[in-house]
Amino acid sequence: MFAAAVYRLPLRRSRLLRISLLSVLGFYINACSTLAPTTGASTSDSDTQVEPLRVALVLGGGGAKGFAHVGVIKALEANGIKPTLVVGTSVGSLIGSLYASGYTPAELERLALTTTDSQLTDFTLSNQGFIEGIKLKNFINNKVGKQAIEDFPIAFAAVAAEKNSLKKSVFTTGDAGLAVQASCSVPNIFIAPRIPEKVGKKYVDGGVVSLVPVDSARDLGADIVIAVDVTAAQSRTNSTSSNLSPINKLSTISTLSDFWGLLETNIMATTASGSRSSSMRLERDRADIIITPDVGHISAIDSSQRSTLIKAGTQATTPQINAIKQLIQEKSKQKYATL
């Protein structure tokens, strides 16, 4: 009896162990089949994933005339066209950063009409320039809620140029205010900021090398580029101020009324040289859609006409809405044809 009882106990344990091992083995077989590459429809879906169509809005430099950019944005959004990338030079980077950070067209317009020049300018006496640029940097950072560029709801890039080499630089991450400050730092007017601050290279206005930065948008993956050039219809450009020293320019500021005109007249003088001007025009022409607001008759230094400039931007955009929509539709079909 005792011997029999002693025999049955290991047998029962053996059966239990066998059952347990089979259960564990079944679990691992099931797990492995779950982790193995899937076949059929699911593999096909992953293979045919396509990035969303990337529509870039490129906003060029142009001083006070850059307020027309606000009207362009108003017209685009009113017709259901919202870019996924905004690239700006000079005043285009200023307005573009605010838009990309989340401002609605109505909020942008309100800000454009109510912001005073004194909120953006901090005059100083220096042989490097007479606008320090700190006010502009702080203004942007406050308005975008201190968001870094990479945290904007819409992808954004500010175009500047290295001061010494005049090599184009495109800022897509980091301090938004500092990037805009660099992009707007017209040589001999603004003191060129360093990026990183205090230890980095000095940067000047992107309009020196890329007034309407279409190529930068392409480099960032844009499928469609809508470019806005507010300098195309110039009636005349006063370039005399470009020959003045920073101190002499400062003494003429009351005549010029604000710094917007300085942004335009000096950039126009800087880019007026034959080969550079031709190169910039060719870059602009590589856009899919070019919007040129009729602002040539409006004084470059008269920011009191902001409403007129905004309206001009809207009027120049509206006739192009159908062409933009058709282009988006065609590009979408091409991109998703393999799905």
Three-class SS of residue 225? strand
The answer to whether 209 touches 267, Cβ cutoff 8 Å, is no
Which one is catalytic: 93, 97, 169, 205? 205
Strand 155-162 relative to strand 201-205: parallel, antiparallel, unpaired? Answer: antiparallel
Greatest alpha-carbon pair distance for the chain in Å reads 120
Quickly tell me which residue has 């809005």 as its tokens: 57
Three-class SS of residue 122? coil
2 contacts: CB under 8 Å, gap ≥ 6: none
- Give the start-end residues of each E strand in the chain: 55-59, 85-89, 155-162, 168-171, 194-195, 201-205, 224-228, 289-291
Specify whether 90 is catalytic.
yes
Which one is catalytic: 90, 101, 183, 185? 90
Specify whether 205 is catalytic.
yes
DSSP string over 198-221:
TTSEEEEEGGGT-SS-HHHHHHTT
- What is the set of active-site residues? 90, 205
